[in-house]
Amino acid sequence: MRKNIRKPSKKNNKNAFEERFKIIVDDYHKAKELLDSLSAGTDEYEQQKKKCHQLFSHAERYLNSAT
C-alpha cells in the first residue's frame, strides 16, 4: 500500500518568503543609511551607490519571482 505524501502548507512558504524579503530589505536600508552619511562625488560614495542599486534590484527580482 502506498503512503500518503504530505504536501507542505502554503502558510509555511509564505512565512519563509516574508522573512527572507525582510532580510533583503533590511540590508538595503543599512546600505542606504551608509550612503546618506557619505559625501557625494567620492569613490567610496560611488561604490556604495552601486551596492544600493544592486540590493534594490535583488529585492525587486525576489519580489517579482514570487508572483
Residues 6+ apart with CB under 8 A from 2: none
Q: Is the pLDDT of residue 8 over 90?
A: no
| DSSP label at residue 67 | -
Residue 49: burial class (beta carbons within 10 Å; 0-12, 13-18, 19+): middle
Q: How much is the pLDDT for 56?
A: 93
Task: Please write the tens of the pLDDT for every residue from 19-58.
Answer: 888 999 999 999 999 888 888 888 898 998 999 999 999 9
**What band does 13 get if pLDDT is binned at 50, 70 and 90?**
low
